Amino acid sequence: GQQLNQSPQSMFIQEGEDVSMNCTSSSIFNTWLWYKQDPGEGPVLLIALYKAGELTSNGRLTAQFGITRKDSFLNISASIPSDVGIYFCAGQLGETSGSRLTFGEGTQLTVNP
């Protein structure tokens, strides 16, 4: 089946620094999604990408859908303490509401004030 490799597994940064994380897949996806999960909570959708090559921003977050459709990255600029959490990428092959997600293993982000 499809697998997603997400890196890095964890990051420890200083407040104000920029962060970059990425996901690669052995096969293509038609949609890439980035979620953030706080401890004891469900994942929250940050950015959804629908077209190869698409670059989308949401505040300090920027994500891109790789042109090969097998990768995506997420950048966070000027990190703040509330950025702490686990970030998951997810790929979706189908384009219907019943399409399952394939998740990466997550990137644990720690921001030191």
- For other proteins, give the closer residue by CB, 56 or 77: 56
Asked if 44 touches other proteins (CB under 8 A), the answer is: yes
Tell me, residue by residue from 67 to 96, as one string, x for binding to other proteins by CB under 8 A and - for no binding: ---------------------x---x-xxx
Q: What is the C-alpha to C-alpha distance for residues 65 and 22, in angstroms, rounded to an integer?
A: 10
Answer for which of 33, 61, 63, 76 binds other proteins (CB under 8 A) is 33
CB-based contact 58:73 (threshold 8 Å): no
* Residue 86 CA from chain centroid, whole number: 10
Choice between 1 and 113, CB closer to other proteins: 1
Dihedral angle over CA of 31, 32, 34, 39, nearest 10? 80
Say which residue the tokens 């859908």 belong to: 65
Q: Give the nearest distance from C-beta 92 to other proteins in angstroms.
A: 7
